[in-house]
Structure 1
């Protein structure tokens, strides 16, 4: 058991890149993690890691040892998950990362059904529109919209995010109701969204009868977080293109008005993404299946 613990500690240090992050993710004191690595190197009589004040890098021997260790630990986890009642009663700590609006408007309101089904899972829910590093941050899975960029990860598409163009009544009183997308370039203002990862401004796109437009409209404000984006739209700062499920409550109470309804906006694909070495975990599978079912049944996510 001590040898297995040492292997897990070593693998976590390699994945996290620092002793501090590894210790935090394992809920162990940093001194314990350091001693485990020192004892491992002494037993193997090789140097596995190069330490600096900021980061840990892997030696050639360390890389070879990690490759074999990761496979062994994955096989062990698979074996344990297949035994007993792990498949029907998954348990343990699960770290999931979700975008802000999906978390507050969809995931969190429905979580009681997840805990009713899986009472022995402890959920750590990270909420942010900023991408995370699943490996170094020790995240089991994320739910994100948009096309995938990291092909090394495993992804399951669980729905689409339809889009809608809206503005506040106050904005429309001041600037008028646009009759077509081109009118947005003549005296109107947009609330834009830029990528938290790259800083790239997301385009304002429209399609109708085979015609596609991508407008480079003047914007008054651009944000990189979905709740702030909604706040800017409600404050009357400009015309916004947002996912339909965010807008529906505000359309119902009149604080937002749909504009240009005859012009479609490309929908955004939504995925559950997880590292390839965790695809057999019962607790990860239980959350992925629950989320997929939740999204499939939602009227504004298909």
Structure 2
């Protein structure tokens, strides 16, 4: 395989992941016309059309999607061999693109990234923070961190642990309004719901007593679509929220919030790392995944 064909393969992968000739060309310090010419030459060599343009974006054809998978695997293995030959496995280098739930990213991953970058300055982590299903191919995701079930793709799931749903309020609020002794008492309190991405949908409040699960949609005074924002409102004394244990842990440790209805708590959905079954994982990706795994397990365990 010629060197210029390898360069064209790298460009092709970047175009698929960015959905744009222009963006991909700029990221590789070349002109759009040069990128277009290289792709035309690559398609001519392969004898198939790899990319389909629309007025808004570029997407791989069916053959292009298959070729993308092969390119990612081949280029990943090539990069790893070059890294090993260049010196040592300790000097990991390259891009790792991760999709993670916003709450996990803010509470667990982001605070630990500075130390990780000091240890591995050659790794460029791209952290996509969202709570939506990821398209691993078109978004160029190496692995994802998710709360809940497996996404509907051919993915490997690595379970990391189950946080708990904790019900919390500020000491000032509880002093003013009293402390509820059971979920039924919440009807007399100010509650702040979690607003799901679906329009108008709210996350239910879950409780468990003596093995009996109780799901409630109690009347609330506000619905907020961000876990951290809800905790800030609770800290400010606005009302009671139900959160995940690792998100509330810092405020609980500092005494800004108080854990209530503890005997009624339920486990939340499991936190897992997901990655493509058919994708070779370069050493840099595996190392980043292992670090994220350790951080998340520690955070979930510490918040119990």
| TM-score in terms of structure 1 length | 0.83
Superposed CA offset, 1:177-219 (max 9, x none):
21211221x2223211133367642210000111110001112
SS in 1 for 2:266: coil
Q: What does 1:21-170 align with in structure 2 at a 5 Å threshold?
A: 22-23=24-25, 29-43=31-45, 47-58=49-60, 62-68=61-67, 70-82=69-81, 83-84=84-85, 87-129=89-131, 132-170=134-172
Partner Cα separation in structure 2 for residue 232 and residue 27 of structure 1: 46
Partner of 1:267: 268
Displacement of 1:43: 4.7
CA RMSD of aligned residues (A): 3.0
Partner Cα separation in structure 2 for residue 81 and residue 131 of structure 1: 29
| TM-score in terms of structure 2 length | 0.82
Superposed CA offset, 1:66-111 (max 9, x none):
4145325413422542553564432112223333443343223333
Partner Cα separation in structure 1 for residue 285 and residue 203 of structure 2: 31
Partner Cα separation in structure 2 for residue 115 and residue 50 of structure 1: 37
Displacement of 1:289: 0.9
Partner Cα separation in structure 1 for residue 22 and residue 200 of structure 2: 29
Displacement of 1:128: 4.4
Partner of 1:234: 235
Partner of 2:286: 285
Matched positions, count: 298
Unpaired runs of at least 5, structure 2: none
SS in 2 for 1:268: coil
Residue pair 1:135, 1:275 contacting (<8 A) in 2 also: no
Residue pair 1:195, 1:201 contacting (<8 A) in 2 also: yes
- After superposing the two structures, state which structure 1 stretch, 206-215 or 1-10, moved more: 1-10
Unpaired runs of at least 5, structure 1: none
Displacement of 1:117: 4.1
Shift in CA distance, 111/132, structure 1 to aligned 2, threshold 3 Å: same
Partner Cα separation in structure 1 for residue 71 and residue 132 of structure 2: 32
Displacement of 1:14: 3.9
